[in-house]
Structure 1
Amino acid sequence: MTFSAVIVAAGSGSRAGPGQAKQWRLVAGKPVLRWSVEAFMAAGASDIVIVTTQDGEKALVDVLAGLSGWRAALGGATRALSVRSGLAALADRPEDQPVLIHDAARPFVTRATIDGVLRALDTADAALPALPVADTLKRAEPGQSPITTSREHLWRAQTPQAARRNVLLAGYAAWTGDEPTDDTQVVEAAGGRVAIAPGDPLLLKLTYPEDFAMAERLAGAARITRVGQGFDAHRWGPGEEVWLCGVAIKHDETLVGHSDADAGLHALTDALLGAIGEGDIGDHFPPTDPKWKGAASDQFLKHAADLVTAKGGAIINVDVTLICERPKIKPHRLAMREKLAEILALPLDRVSVKATTTEKMGFTGRGEGLAASAVVAVETPA
């Protein structure tokens, strides 16, 4: 089902303690907001609107570096006004297209939760994920003993909450009460039917300082590490320079291939594709396609990195080994590391480039060609 998402990220988060607003803080090394954006991208959102402040719009460029398919909208003084601003930003989308409204402060949204509310929307005007209340409830007036309150039929509401865009707009337009606490409330008040989809205990809302310590622990439990490896080789031919790991090196020969024959980038691209189960470089850039003749291989690597991001993943580190007698790699190694770090948006210390020889043995030892191997570690949702 085609759907859009509105992520509300305009709050100040004062209860979370001093420092940045909670949507910009890091959980497991990643900004809170980015967790949700990556999850919606991986789930197939056709459009993502992030509702934020003027300062937030500037921060998004860095917070969401490398991600596409999102746009920003300016938030209002209340959450309801921010949601309406996000809906207005989707005016170019079909009015009956489902929209999922999500709080940026809930970073661990999963594909299962998103799919669940979309399915529930098939038979309702709005849907939300929710969990049944499990704890005993006590109501205590000031100065009085607490009174046990029944928890039967009580649910803890979560986000994302879903409805078709025209239904949400009509609900907010008709709302006359105090500030609504969530989005399905306005649909309910307008007479719409609201369905409950399965909630997720991990989908906690970051509200207080202690919630961030819990989120750090959950981030480790909700993610897995995948390893990918790649290998490539090209023969030498007449030329004056060779491309290796995105760097042009003056040489008395060049590597022969359909593209620029950058064996280092090709091996690394295959390693990333392998880590996420997306085949190999030939599946995505067939050597029989004239479009890629002489093409710069950095675009192949960027494509593989974008696929990792689309799956909600993150590259942890990369390690490339070049196998050749010539040219000497060491004088160019730092430039290669810097180029890979730039393409993959990684810190330099997560990028390794090494070189070795085969002691004059084999095709590389005889100077017939050059080979490269690569290993990567990628973190993705479990």
Structure 2
Amino acid sequence: MAEDHGAKKAGGAFFLVVAAGRGARAGAGGPKQYRELAGRQVLTRTLRALLDGAAGAKALVVIHADDRDLYEAAIAPLPDDVRARLFPPAFGGATRQDSVCNGLEALAAFGVGDDAAVLIHDAARPFVSPGLIARALEAARDKGAGVPGVAVVDTIKQVAEDLRIVATPARATLRGVQTPQAFRFVLILAAHRAVRADGCREMTDDAAVAEWAGHCVFVFPGEAENVKLTTPEDFLRAEAKLFNELADIRTGQGFDVHAFGNGDHVWLGGVKVPHDRGLVGHSDADVLLHAITDAVLGAIADGDIGAHFPPSDPQWRGASSDQFLRHAVERVAARGGRIAHIDATLICERPKVGPHRDAIRARIGEIMDLPLDRVAVKATTSERLGFTGRQEGIAAMAMATVRLP
């Protein structure tokens, strides 16, 4: 019996996201749907845009059988309530057409009703808007089958095998077709089943499948911004677009100090560093993560670590400081922003930070979901001056650069 994911809803809305391709035209770097785009995987951005754009809708992603780990990494950054609206993924086939059919069969097995609207979308289109989603849902419910189209601005020539022009179609009758392509579920499932049973050749989109099955497919307005990432140049333009949308650049600073006490290690940047003394603090006394947390909160003028995690609250006694930093990162995300760079400095005579620097940078990047080249960690001494010079404790300074809409 199929697992119950609450699919049986009259007039429900469902996304089928096609993410099983290899994306060879995008160049080296693995399947394009799992590549990073301004700090987030493309599939992560696509799923967030779709599920934010249709309240209550659910989604099923069709993936390659080899990509389960990549898929899990892509959905991990999604908020819990968004991730809860995902069905378990289905596995794709030899062609896109096979993959879509497999996905539709999976939705049927989960109990999606005949009258539901299903929107079939390319994973490599992360800029789908709420308005476009709303038009797609309306087309599925009112027309049974609809696709977003944009007017063709160039003159189109039909050519023969020898590249001789044989026709010039009237531009006013042409549309460039995008996704999400929208259908009444029973219509598109039956069409795909019929095409599969007939052994038809591969068709370029789901509208062609519906047309082959004898259905009228209507065009509704698409959007020029709803681009499909296909080439390396597409990724460069998409990165620039995202950064331009985050034009409010903020800088925050953080500073923290902890004294030495009894112990056999210190926590620095989420890494357990062996030492003949420990650091004293209400939590795990990770002086570096505390400074970075304050820097991030400062960049968005959202108080400091003590305001969010009061030392008077016993629940934070001995707590791992990575949860403080994750909270600060989530506060930035809630504002629609992202962290562009972290620059932090440890001030101490001992322990020596150099042997642990790469591990510390990697751990901070993991906590903050940042690539390694956006995390700088340095260390210095105070030339035996002051409390750090007397080896009474460790100080840390941090700067955070944040981009907000």
Same fold (TM over 0.5): yes
Retained in 2: the 8 A contact 1:129–1:160?
yes
TM-score of the aligned structures, taking structure 2 as reference length: 0.67
TM-score by length of 1: 0.70
Q: Which runs of 5 or more residues in structure 2 are unaligned?
A: 1-11
Match of 1:81 in 2: 98
* Structure 2 counterpart of 1:120, from 131, 135, 143: 135
1:129 is aligned to 148
Quote the Cα distance in structure 2 between the aligned partners of 1:100 and 1:311: 28
Q: Please, which of 27, 32, 37 is the counterpart of residue 23 of structure 1?
A: 32
Q: How does 1:1-382 map to 2 (within 5 A)?
A: 5-11=15-21, 16=25, 23=32, 34-41=41-48, 44=51, 49-57=60-68, 60=71, 64=74, 67=77, 69=83, 71-90=88-107, 91-92=109-110, 95=113, 99-104=118-123, 106-107=124-125, 109-110=126-127, 113-125=128-140, 127-141=146-160, 145-163=165-183, 165=185, 168-173=188-193, 179-184=202-207, 194=218, 196-201=220-225, 203-204=227-228, 206=230, 211-212=231-232, 214-224=233-243, 228-234=251-257, 236=259, 239-240=262-263, 242-248=266-272, 250=275, 252=277, 254-257=279-282, 259-272=283-296, 290-302=314-326, 317-323=341-347, 327-328=350-351, 330=353, 333-334=356-357, 335-344=359-368, 350-356=374-380, 371-377=395-401
Question: Contact (CA 8 Å) 1:131, 1:201: kept in 2 or not?
Answer: no
Label 1:13 to 1:307 Cα distance change in 2 as closer, same or farther (>3 A): same
> Alignment partner of 2:205: what SS?
coil
State the alpha-carbon separation in 2 of the partners of residues 36 and 353 from structure 1.
Answer: 30
Structure 1 residue 376, shift from structure 2 partner: 3.8
Q: Distance in 1 between matches of 2:50 and 2:299?
A: 19
Name the CA shift for 1:348/1:40 in 2 (closer, same or farther; >3 Å).
Answer: closer
| Distance in 2 of aligned mates of 1:97 and 1:281 | 47
1:35 is aligned with what amino acid? V
Give the 3 Å change call, closer, same or farther, for CA 278–36 of structure 1 in structure 2: farther
SS of aligned partner of 1:76: coil
1:20-46 per-residue CA deviation (whole Å, 9 max, x = no partner) reads: 876379687989xx3133332255467
**Percent of paired sites with the same residue:** 36
Q: Distance in 2 between matches of 1:187 and 1:310?
A: 40
- Kept in 2: contact 1:337–1:352 (CA 8 A): yes
Structure 1, 271-280 or 118-127: larger mean CA deviation: 271-280
Q: Bigger CA drift: 86-95 or 353-362?
A: 353-362
The alpha carbon displacement at 1:169 in A equals 3.1
Instruction: Work out whether residues 117 and 137 of structure 2, in 8 Å CA contact, stay in contact via their aligned partners in 1.
Output: no
Does the Cα contact within 8 Å between 1:11 and 1:21 map onto a contact in 2? no
Secondary structure of the 1:269 match is: helix
Deviation, structure 1 residue 100: 3.8
With over 3 angstroms needed to count, the CA separation of the structure-2 counterparts of 1:367 and 1:83, relative to structure 1, is: same
In the alignment, the residues of structure 1 paired with residue 193 and residue 349 of structure 2 have an alpha-carbon distance, to the nearest angstrom, of: 71
Q: Is the 2:101–2:193 contact (alpha carbons within 8 Å) kept by the matching residues of 1?
A: no
| Matching residue of 2:3 | none
Cα gap change, 1:289 to 1:197, in 2 (>3 Å): farther
**Structure 1 residue 218: deviation in Å?**
0.9
- 1:203: Cα distance to partner? 0.5
For 1:369 and 1:232, locate their aligned partners in 2 and report how far apart those are by CA, in whole Å.
14
